[in-house]
Amino acid sequence: MLNSLRPLTFAAVFTMSAAGVPTLADEAPTADTVVATVNGTDITLGHMIVLRAGLPQQVAELPAEILFEGILDQLIQQAILEENFEGELSKTAQLTLENERRAIIAGEILARISKNAITDEAVQQVYQENYAESAKPTEFKASHILVESEEKANELVASLKDGAEFATLAREHSTGPSGPNGGALGWFTADMMVEPFGSAVAEMEPGSVSNPVETQFGWHVIKLEETRLQGTPDLAEVRGEIEEQIRQEAVQARIEELSKAVEVNRDSAETMDPSVLNNIDLLEE
């Protein structure tokens, strides 16, 4: 939690606004604006912003004036402790620093790759290839009645041939969640349905009723009402998905490219017992 130390040179850099929030006296702040110093070591507004961005949500929701003071106090206290540290870091601390540095640098590289890869031209190309010009799947609008036995399903098929109303039978006999709604399933593509339900629907003609179809859920009697080709979504609807696809492909391609230029030896890891990962005592050696 944020500590209670007071800033050392805070008053010399900021004046207080009417609302009690520190504001720069002469110019607009930047990430490099120095908000305090500890024996000549600068603590900048950028340091504070980064720390604030990593706070847990329940802490980050505190009023800005409380966060500002608390974050600055914490950074000052850390600077004081760092300046007075003697000896060597523990093995855990050393390894943590190495891991975090590696992760931060890797994240920075990946962010640059993603930023450079996502252009309007790239987005438009993927949209044309995967949506605008791609083959459109058939969508089906159907209803079904789900029962536990083939015998019961055959009885329902016979009743339908005798003129019974499909929706009425569904409400009376279906054990599926769509039963109260007359068995209506709405629009779907065949691959959205469990097999062999999807394949059975794909072979039907609009207006027809199937023979009983068995799936893991029971026995289905299906009525196909309409079919249509799936429409092309607007670019705005799928832009997020397209950008994520471009981002993942660009990152993967770059990692594969860089991996070819380095030598990776995992021989020791291949012969190591994975359970050693749980031996935290090794960090004390």
Q: pLDDT digits over 155-181, tens only?
A: 999 999 999 999 999 999 999 999 999
Do 126 and 246 meet the contact criterion of CB atoms below 8 Å apart?
yes
Burial group, residue 22, by CB count within 10 angstroms (0-12, 13-18, 19+): buried
HEC sequence for 42-90: EEEHHHHHHHHHCCCHHHHCCCHHHHHHHHHHHHHHHHHHHHCCCCCCC
Task: Give the strand pairing for 138-147 and 41-44.
Answer: unpaired
pLDDT for 26: 59
pLDDT over threshold 90, residue 2:
no
* pLDDT tens figures, 224-254: 999 998 888 889 999 999 999 999 999 999 9
Indicate the pLDDT class of residue 11, thresholds 50, 70 and 90: very low
* pLDDT tens figures, 23-59: 445 579 999 999 999 999 999 999 999 999 999 998 9
For residue 29, the number of C-alpha atoms closer than 13 Å in the C-beta half-sphere is 17
pLDDT over threshold 50, residue 14:
no
Q: Which of 169, 174, 171 is nearest to 146 (CA)?
A: 174
pLDDT for 191: 93
Task: Report the phi/psi class of residue 163: left, alpha or beta, with left for phi > 0 and alpha for psi in -120 to 50.
Answer: left
Give the chain's radius of gyration (CA, Å): 32
Token pair belonging to 193: 């349905």
Q: Which of 177, 190, 168, 186 is nearest to 146 (CA)?
A: 177
Q: What are phi and psi of 204, to 5 degrees?
A: -90, 160
pLDDT over threshold 90, residue 16:
no
Q: 138-229, what's its fold?
A: Chitinase A; domain 3 (3.10.50)
Average pLDDT of the chain, as a whole number: 89
CB under 8 A, 24+ apart: contacts of 178-181: 178/143, 178/144, 179/145, 179/146
pLDDT for 220: 98
User: What is the rounded distance in angstroms from the CA atom of residue 73 to the CA atom of residue 221?
Assistant: 70
Q: What are phi and psi of 15, to 5 degrees?
A: -110, 165
Q: How far is CA 207 from the centre of its chain?
A: 41
HEC sequence for 142-196: EEEEEECCHHHHHHHHHHHHCCCCHHHHHHHHCCCCCHHHCCEEEEEEHHHCCCC
Cis peptide before 196 (omega within 30 of 0): yes
pLDDT for 6: 38
Which of 26-30, 92-96, 103-107, 141-145 comes out lowest in average pLDDT? 26-30
User: What is the rounded distance in angstroms from the CA atom of residue 1 to the CA atom of residue 263?
Assistant: 43
* CATH 3.10.50.40 domain locations along the chain: 138-229
pLDDT for 134: 77
